[in-house]
Amino acid sequence: MPDPSIIETFENPNPDRNYVITHTATEFTSLCPVTGQPDFGKFTLRYIADKTCIELRSLKLYLHSYRNEGIFYEAVTNSILTDLVASCSPRWMEIQSHWTVRGGIRTDVLVRHGDDSIVPPRL
């Protein structure tokens, strides 16, 4: 099972600013819980750090730990948000997953945590 304890953090170098960090992981694969066949997706993680930031290499290893898990699109996206929120207690966080075509249909899931009002607006 994916183990959130492998996610490492480092001290936020500028905790006095609500700035946005984005990580786009284009190499994600898990298994379909029904058929056991591989699923392939892309994850975009955006967050406003509080005391700590997510360490990039440990994030990669955490995402790879889903490689042999059977799990639905909706569940894995929520699960990753829950784990990452627990690991670094961000002020705000968003996870988007984008999945390849199955049966002529592409699927995306968008989940957020925290107060949208602290996020720098589109300008």
Catalytic residues: 32, 39
Closest CA to 40 of 88, 82, 101, 94: 101
Token look-up 């298994």 returns: 31
The residues pairing with 89 across neighbouring beta strands, listed in sequence order, are: none
**115 lines the binding site for a second copy (CB under 8 A):** no
**75 lines the binding site for a second copy (CB under 8 A):** yes
**37 lines the binding site for a second copy (CB under 8 A):** yes
**93 lines the binding site for a second copy (CB under 8 A):** no
- Candidate list 38, 51, 86, 115; residue touching a second copy; CB under 8 A: 38
- Candidate list 21, 50, 89, 91; residue touching a second copy; CB under 8 A: 21
Closest CA to 62 of 33, 78, 91, 84: 84
